[in-house]
Amino acid sequence: MSQDLPSKGHPRGLYVLFATEMWERFNYYGMRAILILFMTKALLFDHAFASNLYGSYTGLIYLTPLLGGFIADRFWGNHRSIIMGGIVMAVGEFILFFCGSLYQSAPQLSSLLFFSGLGLMIAGNGFFKPNISSLVGQLYPAKDIRKDAAYTIFYMGINVGGALGPFVCGLVGDTGDPADFRWAFLAGGIGMVISVVVQLLYHHKYIVDPDKKILGLTPEGSPRAATNPLVMTVALVLLSCITIGLIYLDAKVFNYLFYLLIACILFIAYVVFTDKSLTKAEISRVGVIFIVSFFVIFFWSAFEQAGASLTFFAEEQTQRKIGSHTVPASFFQSLNSTFVVCFAPLFAWLWIRLGKREPSAPTKMALGLFLLALGYLWIAFGVKDVRPGIKVSMIWLTGMYAMHTCGELCLSPIGLSLVNKLSPFKFASLLMAVWFTANAFANKFAGLLSSLLPENGRTTSFLGYSMSNSYEFFMLFVFMAGLASLILFTLTRKLQRMMNA
């Protein structure tokens, strides 16, 4: 049989990668679901500081994979990077567990442990995250038609973990007693250990190419010293110290992260646009990547309110009682992943069903921004004219998350695919860095916007727009995402011409 022809079923390696990624996402999303609540209820940070720190954390989470992917490609290989990154993340969660155990008896030590745990999570994620998905396609022959289905299965793994993490961590940690948050960190750490164990036990047996060659091992030309266990350990310790310092510096000393991210994007733009070897058509397509990356900042900065202001809203302004039981606020962060599992097959069917009438990638992304604005309009009307102290039905948050998920399915996979298609080969990795840097900027911006949530009668403002209640706060995102959607809709024809130049 030709290697280009599909065989029955999928290789077992796909399910090993599915399980590895599922448990890592269980860890990440479970920890994220209770993080802002832990900061405000246990560590007693005010909402504005906690929101900004949350933005710094999630922003740096998107930056370190650029370094981790580079090191994996040239020195360590995917498998070794996944294992080392996973161990560092697990250690980070266990440090946060001790932070949650000591915050009352030793507050200064607890604060040190908190920033250390976050820094280790950022460093470990940099090596784990970029190296899993790249292995999926390598399990199959070049023209195997099962690849699309394989990525769909893998994507389901991400979202099964994303749905289970907030549910389990919320169940054990978000109980109403701040001392119980430590159990959520412990659960996340255990999930991360399971992820690493799956890789250790099954990678060499099942993560193989069609010729049965083990994937993700040491790259050719890597110096032997680079994979020395002592050298790798020292490198990870140094990187962890740097990431701990970076998040502490941004939170406590000087808010530098916005400037760093802008500098990264400008540097990449300079490198690409001054390269004389690129043709006019390639330059035009690269321009499209920068334009759509700019617009995704507006999407993710509003979407990522899920872990910040929307968690505050769920905790303080949502009626969560069902009979005698109170639904933990962190549970609502399971909704997005649950809806992805439900809606993704529908969207895949819809694009195929439309055939030649299928919208262009920029049009889909504009539609994603429109659905995001619609979700915020829904919840804004849910809280309009509601008197202070009155809680609203869970249907408003649930409906908003459903619309946001539809928006995500129009924008996120479409945007990633667009960057891959339009990037000149020599700049493929660098231009993917533009996409992730835009995501990092959006997450940091999300924290800043969350810090503007009006509370206890205070009035906040953004670019001259004043907000004194939740309705006005949510309308900010309606205006922001709606205007970005409208502008992107008007640019779609021009962008299509640039793409096809």
Helices 47-71, 428-450: inter-axial angle, 10-degree rounding:
170
Round to whole Å and give the CA distance between 295 and 303.
13
Q: For residue 133, what are the contacts with CB-CB under 8 A and spacing of at least 6? A: 21, 154
Round to whole Å and give the CA distance between 161 and 471.
32
CATH level 2 (architecture), domain 256-501: Up-down Bundle (1.20)
**Residue appearing with tokens 């800043």:** 448
Round to whole Å and give the CA distance between 63 and 81.
16
3-state secondary structure of 200: helix
Tokens of residue 28, six digits: 């990440």
pLDDT tier, 1 (very low <50, low <70, confident <90, very high otherwise): very low
pLDDT tier, 334 (very low <50, low <70, confident <90, very high otherwise): very high
Round to whole Å and give the CA distance between 164 and 411.
24
Q: What is the per-residue pLDDT across 21-47, written as a single tens digit (0 to 9) for each?
A: 999 999 999 999 999 999 999 999 999
Q: For the chain, how big is the Rg over CA atoms in Å?
A: 22
* Model confidence at 254: pLDDT above 70: yes
C-beta atoms surrounding 148 within 10 Å = 10
pLDDT tier, 5 (very low <50, low <70, confident <90, very high otherwise): very low
Q: What is the per-residue pLDDT across 74-116, written as a single tens digit (0 to 9) for each?
A: 889 889 999 999 999 999 999 999 999 999 999 999 999 999 9
**Residue appearing with tokens 């993917």:** 432
Which pLDDT does position 98 carry in this prediction? Answer: 96
Tokens of residue 225, six digits: 């010293």
* Model confidence at 484: pLDDT above 90: yes
Cα–Cα–Cα angle for 136, 141, 144, rounded to 5 degrees: 90
Round to whole Å and give the CA distance between 437 and 428.
14
Q: What is the per-residue pLDDT across 340-355, written as a single tens digit (0 to 9) for each?
A: 989 888 888 888 888 8
* Model confidence at 4: pLDDT above 70: no
3-state secondary structure of 386: coil
Which pLDDT does position 466 carry in this prediction? Answer: 93
Q: What is the per-residue pLDDT across 395-425, written as a single tens digit (0 to 9) for each?
A: 999 999 999 999 998 988 788 778 878 888 7
Q: What is the per-residue pLDDT across 285-311, written as a single tens digit (0 to 9) for each?
A: 999 999 999 999 999 999 999 999 999
Which pLDDT does position 8 carry in this prediction? Answer: 62
80 vs 501, more confident: 80
Round to whole Å and give the CA distance between 68 and 62.
11
User: What rounded mean pLDDT belongs to the chain?
Assistant: 90
* Model confidence at 65: pLDDT above 80: yes
Which pLDDT does position 277 carry in this prediction? Answer: 87
* Model confidence at 275: pLDDT above 80: yes
**Superfamily name with CATH number, domain 1-254:** MFS general substrate transporter like domains (1.20.1250.20)
pLDDT tier, 447 (very low <50, low <70, confident <90, very high otherwise): very high
Round to whole Å and give the CA distance between 298 and 407.
12
Task: Please say whether the beta carbons of 320 and 329 come within 8 A.
Answer: yes
Which pLDDT does position 276 carry in this prediction? Answer: 87
State mean pLDDT over 194-218. 91
Task: Please say whether the beta carbons of 285 and 499 come within 8 A.
Answer: yes
Which pLDDT does position 7 carry in this prediction? Answer: 54
**325-326 and 321-322: which strand pairing?**
antiparallel
Task: Please say whether the beta carbons of 125 and 61 come within 8 A.
Answer: yes
pLDDT tier, 121 (very low <50, low <70, confident <90, very high otherwise): very high
Task: Please say whether the beta carbons of 36 and 314 come within 8 A.
Answer: no
Round to whole Å and give the CA distance between 102 and 188.
18
pLDDT tier, 148 (very low <50, low <70, confident <90, very high otherwise): low
Q: Is 134 exposed, middle or buried (0-12, 13-18, 19+ CB in 10 A)?
A: middle
C-beta atoms surrounding 401 within 10 Å = 22
| Phi, psi of 106, rounded to the nearest 5 degrees | -140, 75
Q: How many CA atoms lie within 13 A of 270 on its CB side?
A: 6
* Model confidence at 2: pLDDT above 50: no
Q: What is the per-residue pLDDT across 382-399, written as a single tens digit (0 to 9) for each?
A: 999 888 788 999 999 999
State mean pLDDT over 152-163. 86
77 vs 432, more confident: 77
Which pLDDT does position 448 carry in this prediction? Answer: 94
Instruction: State the DSSP H helix or E strand holding residue 137, giving kind and residue range, or none if neither.
Output: helix 107-138
* Model confidence at 312: pLDDT above 70: yes
| Phi, psi of 164, rounded to the nearest 5 degrees | -75, -35
Q: What is the per-residue pLDDT across 224-252, written as a single tens digit (0 to 9) for each?
A: 898 899 999 999 999 999 999 999 999 88
Beta bridge partners of 465: 462
Round to whole Å and give the CA distance between 292 and 422.
12
Round to whole Å and give the CA distance between 318 and 396.
9
Which pLDDT does position 172 carry in this prediction? Answer: 95
Q: For residue 13, what are the contacts with CB-CB under 8 A and spacing of at least 6? A: 135, 139, 206, 207, 208, 215
In the chain, residues under CATH classification 1.20.1250.20 are 1-254, 256-501
Round to whole Å and give the CA distance between 5 and 119.
45
